[in-house]
Structure 1
Amino acid sequence: MATEFASVLSAPPSGRHRCLVIDHQRYAQAVILRNRPVPWHDAVAYANFFNQAQDLLKPDFTLFDIGAMYEFLIDSDETLVKAMSARSRTGYALKTLLQDEDAAARVRDVVSVLSQTAAAPLALRVPSPLGWLARTHVLSGAGSVHDLTADHAENSSMYMADWLRRLSELPVSLLLLDTRGEGSEHQLPTVDLAAYTPIANVTDHYRWTLGERTHDGVRIAGSSLTGVAIPQDYWRDESATAPAGDFLIADIPPDAVPETVLAQLARLT
């Protein structure tokens, strides 16, 4: 059974006063793997790598980046890319990707092993529906991001909602839609979280907390709670201070010095 998000906030497993969510994928690859490839292909090897980072950094969630694993699967499977490119209709590539049984099974296996071996509650990060649509639309050769409008977000969210049901048996506490690719500077329109109602219906049904990962931090759907992003420079400068917020989220830069990272972590009591 999943630990409720509110319970983690009120009593962080690390013993900190404020909950800390860490996206350590890039940092752990640099420090633990010494920039060798992430072992996405082997669920046990990936869990071992991931948990080394968890033991070192002691975050209050096990944050898994589903979008990054799908990027690996796309890069390593020409047949999948060809299937995604079979039609030029907007949304076809994303729908094909999310309906691929082999890819979904491989993702589910990694997340399942991770959920069984990690000490902290499970959080999943996925691209926003519009962001994932844009990535697959361009990758498949169907067109450019300029073809897409906010109206495409709802159809994309329906594809993602169907796919999320494959994870129904996993103890997910928090689902984060990464909307950092949206906004005029990224050539995609900004989409209100309300447009992603099909996903919200799934998370409500499974009692997962739904959040939106923005450049500034995390917004929790239906709540005034906010997670504030720790600036990248915090991890490079021991004189830097952490921001205020109901909870904190960090993306540790891969070039950060490990001794400085540990010293700055110790200050987040």
Structure 2
Amino acid sequence: MTAPFAGQLPGSAGNGAIRVWLKSAAYTTRVLLSADGADPWVNAAQYLAYFSQAHALLKPDVAVVEVGDLYDSWSQRHGGLAGSLGNRRRPATALRKLLEPEGAKAVLTEVIVAVLAYLRGQTPLVLAMPSPRHWLHHANRLAGLPETALDPDTVEDGAMYLADLIRSVSTLPISGLLLEERPGDSAFGPVDLERYRSVINVARHYRWSLASRLPSGIQMPADAMAGFDAVIAKPGVYAGALPLGLDISEAFATGEALPALGAGQFHFAQIVPGQRPEAVLDTVARLRAARA
């Protein structure tokens, strides 16, 4: 049984095993699959072949499955969203149609089972996905709908669709979830987190840890993060007591000096696809040295 990742975070509540959390799917897909243009999400066997190589390459402290990538792949391979909407143009309809295919849920389940067997409990498995607010915007863009402001009820609808998706894999020993806000979302705020309650409640019910990756430029009060176990953000965004994943993605990409970790902090980086493999491995080695 995989334990919730909160117990491996730095700080008084964790043992500190998680010090380097990487999001590398876009980079490792380019490095490992660009030659043949393969889609790792076609089936579980193909995904595991890709994942095992990617994990061995970078050896992160957290194994991440990008659920949003699966649904993008599924939608593209099955005709896209625009044709499935008909005359329905409610802001939450595109996300509901994106997430409802049973075939996609079956692939996700098979992928998680395969990855868990590969990891053998040695690394926590986290499902990363866009937050309800982020995924609503993304689904509408996939469907060719115009950008629109999201009212609280629409965000709440989106959260319920995500909660249903989470329930579909609830029997599997997943370590936790990472909800990622849309980068630069200046309209995001504490009220949106209140509307995520159905997702938060489901994660709590299944005893999964829950992390939030916040957009830059938004000052998030500590009490808004109730129900979460960790926050991932750039410096100055969050100053509460939860373990903080210091988002060093920009420094990782440019090769700049890596900021030192404070108490209760770990390094987090999203590796951009265009980085040179030599530079990536060098920076990962520096992160490991800082962790030691």
Q: TM-score, normalised by structure 1?
A: 0.85
Deviations 1:38-84 (A, max 9, x none): 32102112112111111111101111110011001111102765334
Check whether the contact 1:129–1:156 (CA below 8 A) recurs between aligned residues. Answer: yes
Q: 1:89 to 1:67 in 2, by over 3 A?
A: same
Per-residue CA deviations over 1:113-159 (Å, capped at 9, x if unaligned) read 11221342110111111221222234335x42225224421111011
Q: Secondary structure at the match of 1:124?
A: strand
* 2:181 equivalent among 171, 179, 182: 179
Alignment correspondent of 2:237: none
1:26–1:252 Cα contact (<8 Å) kept: yes
Corresponding residue number in structure 1 for 2:71: 70
* Partner of residue 229, structure 1: 247
For 2:271 and 2:111, locate their aligned partners in 1 and report how far apart those are by CA, in whole Å.
Answer: 22
Alpha carbons 2:81, 2:94 under 8 Å: kept: no
Matched, 1:102 2:103: yes
1:137 maps to what in 2?
Answer: 140
Q: CA, structure 1 residues 89+234, in 2 after alignment: closer, same or farther (shift >3 Å)?
A: closer
Residue 125, structure 1, aligned to residue 143, structure 2: no
Aligned partner of 2:207: which letter?
Answer: R
2-side partners of 1:196 and 1:263: how far apart? 38
Contact conserved, 2:248 with 2:258, CA < 8 A, in 1?
Answer: no
1:266 matched to 2:285? The reply is yes
The 8 Å contact of residues 253 and 275 in structure 2, kept in 1 or not, is answered as yes
1:192-207 correspondence runs (5 A): 192-207=192-207
For structure 1, the residue ranges without an aligned partner over 5 or more in a row are none
Match of 1:249 in 2: 268
Report the secondary structure of 2:171's partner residue: coil
What corresponds to 2:6 in structure 1? Answer: 6
Q: Structure 1 residues 18, 114: CA separation in 2 closer, same or farther (over 3 Å shift)?
A: closer
RMSD over aligned CA atoms reads: 2.7
**What letter corresponds to residue 234 of structure 1 in structure 2?**
F
d(CA) in 2 for partners of 1:140, 1:260: 37
- Which one-letter code corresponds to 1:75 in the other structure? Q
Counterpart amino acid of residue 140 in structure 1: A
Amino acid at match of 1:70: Y
In structure 2, the residue matched to 1:165 is 167
Cα distance in structure 1, aligned partners of 2:285 and 2:169 = 34
Q: Which runs of 5+ in 2 are unaligned?
A: 217-224, 230-240
Q: Secondary structure at the residue paired with 1:146?
A: coil
Deviates more, 1:83-92 or 1:195-204: 83-92
Secondary structure, aligned partner of 2:73: helix
Q: Give the 3-state SS of the residue equivalent to 1:175 in structure 2.
A: strand
TM norm structure 2: 0.79
Equivalent residue letter for 1:134 = H
| Residue 92 of structure 1, CA deviation | 2.1
Q: Is the 8 A contact 2:133 2:192 kept in 1?
A: no
Between stretches 82-91 and 60-69, larger displacement belongs to: 82-91
Aligned to 1:49: 50
- The answer (yes or no) to whether the contact 1:215–1:229 under 8 Å persists in 2 is no
| TM superposition shift of 1:193 | 1.9
In structure 2, C-alpha distance between the alignment counterparts of 1:22 and 1:3, rounded to whole Å: 19
Q: Percent of aligned positions with the same letter in both sequences?
A: 33
